[in-house]
Amino acid sequence: MSSHLQQEGPLQGVRVVEFGSLLAGPFCGQLLADFGAEVIKCEPPRQGDPMREWGQEKPHGKSLWWPIVARNKKSITVDLRTAEGQEVARRLIAQSDVVVENFRPGTMERWGLGYEQLAEENPGLVMVRVSGFGQTGPYSKRPGYGSIGEAMGGLRYVVGDPQTPPSRVGISLGDSLAGTFAALGAVMALRARDRHGRGQVVDSAIYEAVLAMMESLLPEYELGGHVRERTGSILPNIAPSNVYQTSDGGLLLIAANQDTVFRRLATAMGMAELGSDPRFATHTARGRNQVELDEMISKWSAQYDTEGLMAVLVEHDVPVGRVYRAPDMLADEHFAAREAIVRLGHPEFGEFPMQNVVPRLSMTPGRVKWTGPQLGEHTDEVLTDVLGLATSDIDQLRASGVI
């Protein structure tokens, strides 16, 4: 395998201009940058992307989220609300392959940066547009956050305990899903451009990205009259697949819902006869008797400490996993062996751990090269190298507040 190919990444040579802020659009940019694209993030002068300030914990008053979502990117400042800033953006886009934006639909058009205008000068341009409700339809002009997309896409209603109101899943999943589909769309549009020579618009709506994950929820209702409800930790009628507590307070997720796997679990429990018991011998029977089966497994699991139960289940080839928190991930030998977590130097935090690039490519893998940049760190470099501006031109733009 060529080390040169390994260093490049599969999107080497693709230039992306990223507008927008917070998460959905920038997550798309993060994925493209992970695999070698040159991602130039355009931020408002002075304050930058609000994501620079987001996060529950902020050592030194700085976000711990920003170094991840902006990793591998270059940062320039440009005020798109000024004619001069719009001209800088147009010139930069003319030299680029992809534009990513997540403003409310119509915003880019008001700035003279709509797809039709940009494609006149750059016919091969791929414009990735991430929004709450998409670029068309009666809701398109509404502001749309990830939480709204999760609610309207069907996710929020099915998350949580049935005795409580719908829950958040714990992360900004709607935004990340829309960003993931946006990145996939960008790569597909670039592939189409390779064949046909023309770019196109990629329209990624948050609520549709969530809806795409909702399995058979729609035909279950229309064809079967069933509305999915919140079910907590179980998979309804699919058993056993639940979280079980151990004697030392640990939580293990045991998934033994196939007939052969359940028989292995029954043997591990010292109750091999359950594998042929009419109440539990088949998938349908276990689903019908799910509550009784869960009670039996819970009583058994409580006799072991976490490590002991893990050992028994692994020995019997039963799918099992601890319910991990951050310290568990950082201490896990499998995470370490596969380098699922990487550590990079950060100017303020020192050694900075973060999740590695996914998925893994055997010949041209992605990699994390640097953490999120300082505001405007690459402004002079990009305006000089890409646009060919003279130092005096850059100084004038800076003096007038455009950059």
3-state helix, strand, coil in the chain (%, to 5): 40, 15, 45
The domain containing residue 131 runs over which residues? 3-213+339-399
Helix ranges (H only) for 172-317 are 173-196, 206-211, 217-222, 259-268, 283-288, 290-301, 306-315
Pair (248, 312) in one structural domain: yes
**Quick one: what percent of the chain has pLDDT higher than 90?**
93
Widest distance between CA atoms in the chain: 84
Quick check: 21 pLDDT over 50?
Answer: yes
Pair (124, 247) in one structural domain: no
Helix ranges (H only) for 348-403 are 379-385, 391-399
Pair (184, 317) in one structural domain: no
**pLDDT tens digit string along 125-163?**
999 999 999 999 999 999 989 999 999 999 999 999 999
Pair (153, 23) in one structural domain: yes
Last residue of a domain, one of 264, 297, 325: 325
Pair (193, 302) in one structural domain: no
Helix ranges (H only) for 58-172 are 66-69, 83-94, 107-110, 115-121, 146-152
As a whole number of angstroms, the distance between CA 60 and CA 86 comes to 34
* Residue 140, both tokens: 């398109």
- Residue 68 domain flag: yes
Number of domains the chain contains:
2
Pair (116, 183) in one structural domain: yes
Pair (188, 257) in one structural domain: no
Pair (305, 378) in one structural domain: no
**pLDDT tens digit string along 167-209?**
999 999 999 999 999 999 999 999 999 999 999 999 999 999 9
Pair (206, 251) in one structural domain: no
- Residue 280 domain flag: yes
pLDDT, residue 4, reads 52
194 is catalytic: no
Amino acid at 383: L
- Please check whether residue 78 is in contact with residue 88, taking contact to mean a CB–CB distance below 8 angstroms: yes
Q: CATH number of the domain that 67 lies in?
A: 3.40.50.10540
Q: What angle do helix axes 306-315 and 259-268 make, rounded to 10 degrees?
A: 130
Last residue of a domain, one of 271, 298, 325: 325
Measure Cα distances from 311 to 100, 220, 242, 303 in Å. 48, 39, 18, 13
* Residue 25, both tokens: 């659009």
- Residue 271 domain flag: yes
Question: Which of 175, 277, 294, 380 does the annotation list as catalytic?
Answer: 175
Q: Which residues pair with 205 in a beta bridge?
A: 131
Pair (206, 169) in one structural domain: yes
Pair (171, 195) in one structural domain: yes
**pLDDT tens digit string along 343-356?**
999 998 999 999 99
**pLDDT tens digit string along 167-176?**
999 999 999 9
- Residue 297 domain flag: yes
93 by Cβ neighbours in 10 Å (0-12 / 13-18 / 19+) ranks as buried
**pLDDT tens digit string along 48-107?**
999 998 876 666 678 899 999 999 999 999 999 999 999 999 999 999 999 999 999 999
Rg, Å, the chain Cα set: 25
Last residue of a domain, one of 276, 299, 325: 325
- Residue 251 domain flag: yes
- Residue 284 domain flag: yes
- Residue 227 domain flag: no
Phi, psi of 42 (to 5 degrees): -100, 120
pLDDT, residue 1, reads 46
Quick check: 399 pLDDT over 50?
Answer: yes
Pair (108, 251) in one structural domain: no
Q: CATH number of the domain that 285 lies in?
A: 3.30.1540.10
CA 211 to chain centre: 15
- Residue 224 domain flag: no
